[in-house]
């Protein structure tokens, strides 16, 4: 198995990163350049640990009982964790099946990087930024064509209870009307309204 490139492991998280008590594994690398990235400093610091799936499992297993009792588990964030999707898929084969595995992603990756984790073993928290191409390009520096295709694939493949899609209010980029438009476009792709979460970035 290829090694993970890990920025940090944050234990005992609740409510923000999946079900129950969760350990957040922040993975290195991101294709986007978002001005309000919450991990900008961490990504820029370039303090990366390289570890095998077995080594990561040994570090996370200390919280096995917390995961079992609360229905929690491990959330892979970043950066963009799908850049290391093959390592994540292999890790899922190693860890206890009772652990809930969640991926926090922008889905801004080629389809072949989404495919290895597109199973019911994983839950997804997707930050879509904005569905409008011009706003997405202005905020992230990238086109959102692939991202939208990946949303459609996710919705067609993963059970609704296993994903949520966030469309944020972004200062200077999206307000009430832009977020409402993103919600409408997501619903047109088949995303149930209850699966769409709006929230605010803090400038």
pLDDT per position as a tens digit, 99-130: 999 999 999 999 999 999 999 999 999 999 99
Task: Tell me the percentage of the chain whose pLDDT exceeds 70.
Answer: 94
Tell me which of 199 and 107 has the higher pLDDT. Answer: 107
Is pLDDT above 80 for 202? no
87: its two tokens: 């390592």
- The CA-atom distances, in angstroms, between 106 and each of 57, 77, 128, 162, 190 are 25, 10, 6, 16, 18
CATH topology of domain 4-197: TIM Barrel (3.20.20)
CA 79, distance to chain mean position in Å, is 9
Beta-carbon count within 10 A of 199 CB: 10
The first and second tokens of residue 161, run together, are 């209870």
Which pTM does this prediction carry? 0.94
Kindly report the backbone phi and psi dihedral angles of residue 81, in degrees, each rounded to the nearest multiple of 5, phi listed first. Answer: -65, -25
State yes or no: cis peptide before 79, omega within 30 of 0: yes
| Bridge partners of residue 73, in order along the sequence | 22, 100
Task: Write out the DSSP string of 85-125.
Answer: HHHHHHHHHHS-TTSEEEEEE---S-HHHHGGG-STTEEEE
CA separation for the pair 199, 86 (Å, rounded):
30
Tell me the per-residue pLDDT of 44-83, one tens digit each, with 9 for 90 and over.
Answer: 666 889 999 999 999 999 999 999 999 999 999 988 999 9
């Amino acid at each position: 198995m290829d090694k993970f490139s890990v920025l940090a492991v944050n234990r005992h998280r609740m409510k923000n990163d999946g079900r129950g008590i969760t350990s957040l594994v922040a993975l290195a690398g991101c294709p986007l350049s978002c001005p309000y990235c919450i991990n900008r400093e961490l990504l820029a610091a370039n303090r990366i640990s390289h570890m095998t799936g077995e080594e990561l499992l040994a570090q996370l297993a200390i919280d096995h009982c917390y995961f079992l009792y609360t229905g929690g588990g491990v959330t892979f964030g970043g950066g963009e964790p799908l850049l290391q999707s093959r390592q994540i898929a292999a890790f899922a084969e190693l860890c206890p099946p009772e652990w809930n595995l969640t991926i926090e992603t922008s889905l801004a990756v080629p389809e072949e990087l989404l495919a290895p984790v597109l199973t019911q073993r994983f839950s997804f928290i997707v930050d879509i930024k904005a569905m409008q191409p011009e706003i997405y390009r202005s905020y992230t520096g990238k086109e959102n064509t692939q991202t939208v295709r990946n949303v459609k694939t996710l919705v067609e493949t993963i059970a609704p209870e296993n994903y949520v899609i966030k469309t944020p209010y972004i200062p200077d980029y999206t307000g009430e009307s832009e977020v409402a438009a993103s919600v409408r476009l997501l619903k047109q792709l088949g995303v149930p309204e209850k699966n769409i979460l709006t929230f605010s970035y803090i400038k």
